[in-house]
Amino acid sequence: MEIQEKVELLGRAAALDCDGPVRLSRQEHKTQFLRHSRAFVTHPQKGKMPLMRTMLTSACERNCYYCPFQAGRNYRRVSFQPAELAQAFDDMQRKKLVDGLFLSSGIVGGGARAMDGMLDTVDILRREYEYSGYIHLKVMPGAETAQIERAARLADRLSINLEGANAERLARLAPKKDYWQELLPPLYWVRQHRHTLEPWVKLPSLTTQFVVGPAGESDHELLTTTISLYRQAGLARAYYSAFGPVAGTPFAHKPKTSPLREHRLYQADWLLRFYGFQLKELPFDSRGHLPLDADPKLMWAQTHLRHAPVELNRAGRRRLLRVPGIGPKTADAILAARRQGRLRNLHHLRQIGVQTGRAAPFILLDGKMPEYQLTLPLAG
Ligand code: SF4
């Protein structure tokens, strides 16, 4: 099989192997060759980068119930040799079609063997092709400690996908994956072993992903796990992937998870990470789920700020962040504007980025509630 055909097939496979860091942008693909093999990621310094997103192999011996690559499913399997994939990437990168690699793989012959193939690919790129750009590696379940250390030296970002909110939920999704032995230790490795790496080695950022829905987990369970990973493992980001059934898998009959649930989880995750909210402040229902029909921040404000609006000319940053329509950048803009003078009206607030339609019912300007039209959408 031609390398270009493999790039196309494995790029398409990697797109099915949904993971949050990159979002396929079909409109932006320039050629048939690139249709499934290129995706985009936003880099903090470089902005939007086209990534080559691929798998080393779409063959797999495991049986994760949600996965299109699970063993035994009727699916055309394709594999690269490490040197072959490195060459294909180098070719695309020199043509300026991609500027970064996101590499994943199925597992054949154990997680350590699959990880070796991925590490060899990246090693060839770094050493032989002297590629110094962005590389995101998925850490295979079953990878050995020495391989995680090698990955930490070679990659800019590592993803270790927990899939389930905890061991019990994972067992319902992927009975051959071991939460305690295979998945959690690599997530903690980078923080616990940073001292074993030379000081000039830039530590990779860490991400994880959850399959949302088919294991019956609650939003509270998912967010409890992610908040502890943010705090204790230095996780950079969690991705919540709404489940979609795949024909020919044991979960083919399971209902699709609403994309709105995924959206609410991301909103709640941001409130916990960037807005100073505590888990117990989020509006979970009795089953531990966030309401689908309401933005969690707006719900909190309805309960807590309706009768205690926030004085925008005096409130500190933490308090400002509680107001719907005010995010971290807008809170900073308010503080900066206050150094120039008083905030007097909604027009002024709009000019500095406040979503006044959302914020107005919950704020005061010099002790007075601003006039606003009484339309208060709950859906965020
Ligand atoms: S290990 Fe599981 S999730 Fe990964 S490719 Fe194999 S079957 Fe799919």
Residues in CB range of 7: below 8 A, 6 or more apart: 33, 37, 52, 54, 88, 92
- Rounded to 10°, the helix 184-192/145-154 angle is 60
pLDDT string in tens for the chain (380-residue length): 677 777 777 776 776 554 443 333 333 333 333 444 555 555 555 566 789 999 999 999 999 999 999 999 998 899 999 999 999 999 999 999 999 999 999 999 999 999 999 999 999 999 999 999 999 999 999 999 999 999 999 999 999 999 999 999 999 999 999 999 999 999 998 888 877 888 888 889 999 999 999 999 999 999 999 999 999 999 999 999 999 999 999 999 999 999 999 999 999 999 999 999 999 999 999 999 999 999 999 999 999 999 999 999 999 999 999 999 999 999 999 999 999 999 999 999 999 999 999 999 999 999 999 987 655 554 44
* Tally of CA atoms within 13 A in the half-sphere of 41 that contains its CB: 21
**Can you name the CATH fold of 3-275?**
TIM Barrel (3.20.20)
Q: Is 24 in the pocket of ligand 1 (CB under 6 A)?
A: no
Crossing angle of helices 296-304 and 259-274, in 10° steps, is: 60
Is pTM, for the whole model, over 0.85?
yes
Give the per-residue pLDDT at 16.
59
Return the pLDDT at 48.
67
pLDDT of residue 24: 33
Look at residue 55 in the predicted model and tell me its pLDDT: 94
| Joined tokens for residue 97 | 């079609």
* 244: nearest Cα among 67, 101, 111, 367: 67
Asked if 249 and 73 touch (Cβ cutoff 8 Å), the reply is yes
Residue nearest to atom 2 of ligand 1 (CA): 64
Residue pair 258/199 in contact by the 8 Å Cβ criterion: no
6 touches ligand 1 (CB under 6 Å) = no
Q: Which of 178, 240, 179 is nearest to 209 (CA)?
A: 240
Q: How far is the CA of 303 from the centre of ligand 1 (A)?
A: 43
Burial status of residue 256 (CB atoms within 10 A of its CB: 0-12, 13-18, 19 or more): exposed
Question: Is the minimum distance from the CB of 106 to ligand 1 under 6 angstroms?
Answer: yes
State how far the Cα of 338 lies from the Cα of 317, in Å rounded to an integer: 12
Is the CB of 60 inside a 6 Å radius of any atom of ligand 1?
yes
Looking at residue 195, the DSSP 8-state letter turns out to be G
Core vs surface per residue 118-127: b (16+ CB within 10 A) or e = bbbbbbbbbe
Look-up of token digits 């009727």: 74
E-assigned strands of the chain? 38-43, 47-55, 101-104, 135-138, 157-159, 205-212, 237-242, 310-311, 363-364
Ligand 1, atom 1: nearest CA belongs to which residue? Answer: 62
Give yes or no for residue 69 CB within 6 A of ligand 1.
yes
138 lines ligand 1 (CB under 6 A): no
Q: What are phi and psi of 299, to 5 degrees?
A: -65, -40
Please choose, from the candidates 186, 219, 205, the residue with its C-alpha nearest in 3D space to the C-alpha of residue 289. Answer: 219
Nearest CA to ligand 1 atom 7: 70
- Whether 354 is in the pocket of ligand 1, judged by its Cβ within 6 Å, is no
Q: Is the Cβ atom of 251 under 6 angstroms away from ligand 1? A: no
pLDDT of residue 6: 73
Closest residue CA from atom 5 of ligand 1: 106
pLDDT score, position 70: 95
Domain locations along the chain: 3-275, 296-364
The per-residue pLDDT for 42 is 59
